[in-house]
Amino acid sequence: MRRFIALSVLVLLMTSAFGGVGGVWSRSPAVPLPGVDTAVTRALEQILTAKPDWLRQAATAECGAMTEVMRLGRDSIRVVVWSPDGTQLASAGADGTVRVWDAVNGTVLDVLEGHTDSVLSVAWSPDGTQLASASADGTARVWDAASGAALDVLEGQTNTVTSVVWSPDGTRLASAGADGTVRVWDAASGTALHLIKEHTIWVKTLAWSPDGTRLASASFEGTVRMWDAANGTALDVLEGHMHRVNSVAWSPDGTQVASAGMDGTVRVWDAANGTALHVLDEFTSWVNAVAWSPDGTQLASAGEDGTVWVWDAASGTALDVLDTDNDWVNAVAWSPDGTQLASAGAGGAAQVWGCEGPG
């Protein structure tokens, strides 16, 4: 089993709930229930929060070495992503900013301001020179990664923009929104190239195939749809989730697609024919995000129960469970070399986990 330890806390809370006083995060003690004595209340709490022995051991050995989380802000972090060279991370959330961090020591390198509402998605260009962000203010924005200067504003979605992603060659951007549309843009000019509007409700996440020929979209319809990226033609519909689909990701070799949903499952599909290959259903709540390791051998998923799970991609076997300090986890991302994971979620903390190798 691969063991993970927390290396650094990147984003923490700027103000506490009371007067902006910083402190160390801790879980609340049991609160006595009316008419029930304290001993019974504590016993009930232990039952309700108990985990299977194997999960608890994974989360409290090396994986649980998150000893200090300072409150530096209250805004939930929606997304955290690595730069292509692995030296920086970008995060975004409810405060409407994109923050760029040193991936080694957690120093804030830049704060990109311009959105007027929550930022829901951030993506680095493949060469690492630009960032794109998507916001509830109805826009996607493009930034110079070195200077933080705003380069372009992409407008067209009529509601919240939920996702923005770069094509693998960096020449195009795709955005998705609560209006049910997917739009493809020329990255250099900001010109709209295609409008895809076959979804009937929110499109939550987009992902380009590694070869740049296809787009996958995850929707609150409960489906994943596949599109020809050159012309927007519908190619396939992956059906199986019983609720909204929150995340979709291509395997590095482009042969498989993974999706995560509010039905509490991660599903792995054959990208060529849409066949379901695995259903990962060990979760206790819905799943917000899924990511492939760079070598394609593992998957990481982020859950509403505050955990990050690591899976063997070939067999669907659970390898490890990371018990974060967040009430729920919105995002998970592998470092480009596959040795680290970053996770972020409610409570404001983004954490980096390092791989110790086989246990």
User: Is the predicted pLDDT of residue 313 greater than 90, yes or no?
Assistant: yes
Alpha carbon distance 349, 326 (integer Å)? 7
> Secondary structure of the chain in the HEC alphabet?
CEEEEEEEEEECCCCCCCCCCCCECCCCCCCCCCCCCHHHHHHHHHHHHCCCHHHHHHHHCHHHCCCCCECCCCCCEEEEEECCCCCEEEEEECCCCEEEEECCCCCEEEEECCCCCCEEEEEECCCCCEEEEEECCCEEEEEECCCCCEEEEEECCCCCEEEEEECCCCCEEEEEECCCCEEEEECCCCCEEEEECCCCCCEEEEEECCCCCEEEEEECCCEEEEEECCCCCEEEEEECCCCCEEEEEECCCCCEEEEEECCCCEEEEECCCCCEEEEECCCCCCEEEEEECCCCCEEEEEECCCEEEEEECCCCCEEEEEECCCCCEEEEEECCCCCEEEEEECCCCEEEEEEEEEC
- Top pLDDT among 30 and 110 is at 110
User: Is the predicted pLDDT of residue 1 greater than 80, yes or no?
Assistant: no
| pLDDT band of 355, cuts 50, 70, 90 | low
Residue 348 has what pLDDT? 64
Residue 179 has what pLDDT? 87
Which of 52-56, 224-228, 257-261, 328-332 has the lowest average pLDDT? 52-56
Residue 294 has what pLDDT? 96
pTM for this entry: 0.79
Residue 213 has what pLDDT? 96
User: Is the predicted pLDDT of residue 26 greater than 80, yes or no?
Assistant: no
pLDDT > 70: what percent of the chain?
A: 77
Alpha carbon distance 220, 201 (integer Å)? 6
- Top pLDDT among 223 and 126 is at 126
| pLDDT band of 5, cuts 50, 70, 90 | very low
CATH superfamily, domain 2-6+66-358, is YVTN repeat-like/Quinoprotein amine dehydrogenase (2.130.10.10)
| pLDDT band of 339, cuts 50, 70, 90 | confident
Residue 75 has what pLDDT? 61
| pLDDT band of 27, cuts 50, 70, 90 | very low
Residue-wise pLDDT for 252-310, tens only, equals 999 999 998 888 889 899 999 998 998 888 777 888 999 999 999 999 999 888 888 99
User: Is the predicted pLDDT of residue 32 greater than 70, yes or no?
Assistant: no
Contact assessment for residue 283 and residue 303, using Cβ atoms and an 8 Å cutoff: yes
Q: Two tokens at 264?
A: 């509490």
Alpha carbon distance 272, 291 (integer Å)? 19
Contact assessment for residue 161 and residue 139, using Cβ atoms and an 8 Å cutoff: yes
Average pLDDT, the chain: 78
Residue-wise pLDDT for 80-137, tens only, equals 999 999 999 999 988 899 999 888 888 889 999 999 999 999 999 999 999 999 999 9
Which of these, 70, 95, 76, 77, lies nearest to 20 by C-alpha position?
70
Alpha carbon distance 261, 282 (integer Å)? 13
Domain assignments of the chain as residue spans, ordered by start: 2-6+66-358
Residue-wise pLDDT for 183-214, tens only, equals 999 999 999 999 988 777 788 999 999 999 99
The Cβ-side half-sphere exposure at 138, using a 13 Å CA radius, reads 6
| pLDDT band of 69, cuts 50, 70, 90 | very low
| pLDDT band of 8, cuts 50, 70, 90 | very low
Q: Two tokens at 233?
A: 């033609």
- Top pLDDT among 355 and 311 is at 311
Residue-wise pLDDT for 143-167, tens only, equals 999 999 999 999 888 889 999 999 9
| pLDDT band of 23, cuts 50, 70, 90 | very low
Residue 273 has what pLDDT? 92
User: Is the predicted pLDDT of residue 315 greater than 70, yes or no?
Assistant: yes
Q: Two tokens at 192?
A: 């709209």
pLDDT > 90: what percent of the chain?
A: 45
Alpha carbon distance 314, 277 (integer Å)? 9
Alpha carbon distance 316, 144 (integer Å)? 39
The Cβ-side half-sphere exposure at 327, using a 13 Å CA radius, reads 10
Contact assessment for residue 325 and residue 356, using Cβ atoms and an 8 Å cutoff: no
Cβ count within 10 A of residue 315 = 9
